[in-house]
């Protein structure tokens, strides 16, 4: 078990929004879906796209670079790269699908706490 570190305040992030925050030297994505918060590494494991600059649909975040999608509940790959054809197949062979790291989150005294 890690230590819970403050990563923001409850209410400063609207429902359905996400942002990048620095926590203990790490760039973490914080997302709010309903009244729940999710935290994950902000960088896509494909080519390092900033996930916080992508889109959020429910708990699925889409990388703005190549359209890879990840579920923030568990980090699992929903889609690895967008598109089809030879270029996509070669890209997938060179950089096989990898999940993102997710972190436990809790709200305590209006603070969003991330476990590192």
Query: Per-block average pLDDT, block size 10, for the chain (116 residues)?
Result: 92 95 96 96 94 98 94 95 64 77 96 96
Domain 4-109, CATH number (from 3.40.1050.10, 2.102.10.10, 1.10.260.40, 3.40.1350.10): 2.102.10.10
Query: Residue 97 has what pLDDT?
Result: 86
Judged by DSSP in three states, 90 sits in helix
CB atoms inside a 10 Å sphere around CB 49: 19
Q: Where are the domains of the chain?
A: 4-109
Q: What share of the chain is helix, strand, coil (3-state, %, to 5)?
A: 10, 45, 45
CA–CA distance, 35 with 27 (Å, rounded to integer): 22
Query: Residue 2 has what pLDDT?
Result: 86
Query: Residue 45 has what pLDDT?
Result: 93
Do 92 and 81 contact (CB within 8 A), yes or no?
yes
**How many alpha carbons lie under 13 Å from residue 99 in its C-beta half-sphere?**
10
Query: Residue 43 has what pLDDT?
Result: 97
């Amino acid at each position: 078990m890690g230590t819970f570190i403050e990563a923001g305040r409850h209410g400063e992030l609207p429902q359905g929004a996400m942002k990048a925050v620095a926590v203990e030297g790490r760039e973490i994505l914080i997302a709010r879906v309903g009244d729940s918060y999710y935290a994950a590494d902000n960088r896509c494991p494909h080519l390092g796209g900033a996930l916080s600059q992508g889109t959020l649909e429910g708990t699925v975040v889409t990388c703005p670079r190549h359209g890879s999608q990840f579920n923030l509940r568990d980090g699992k790959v929903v889609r690895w790269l967008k598109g089809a054809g030879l270029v996509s197949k070669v890209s997938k062979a060179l950089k096989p699908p990898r999940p993102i790291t997710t972190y436990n989150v809790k709200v305590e005294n209006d603070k969003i706490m991330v476990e590192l």
